[in-house]
Amino acid sequence: IAGDYMICVNRSKPSITDEQRLLLALMADYDKATRPVFNASHPVNVYLGITLTQIFDVV
């Protein structure tokens, strides 16, 4: 999520939204090689949930 972002540019007047400015400020010193843990030898558990929201066609 963090590494990819798009900045909208108007040719007549450069502009950036508040959300884009915040994202750039938060990610200015971000290092992808680091992990947000106290002890690097401990694993990070990631939980993922998936929900079915719509069925398009039932044969």
pLDDT tens digits, residue range 2-59? 555 565 555 565 688 999 999 999 989 888 888 778 888 888 888 999 998 888 887 7
- pLDDT for the residue numbered 9: 52
Number of domains in the chain: 1
- pLDDT for the residue numbered 36: 74
Task: For 1-59, give the DSSP string.
Answer: --S-------SSS----HHHHHHHHHTTT--TT--S-SSTTS-----------------
Three-point CA angle 3, 27, 4, nearest 5°: 20
Q: What are phi and psi of 42, to 5 degrees?
A: -90, 140
Tell me if 8 sits within 8 A of 16, measured CB to CB.
Answer: yes
- pLDDT for the residue numbered 14: 67
Question: Which domain, by its residues, includes 44?
Answer: 1-59
Does 1 have pLDDT greater than 60? Answer: no
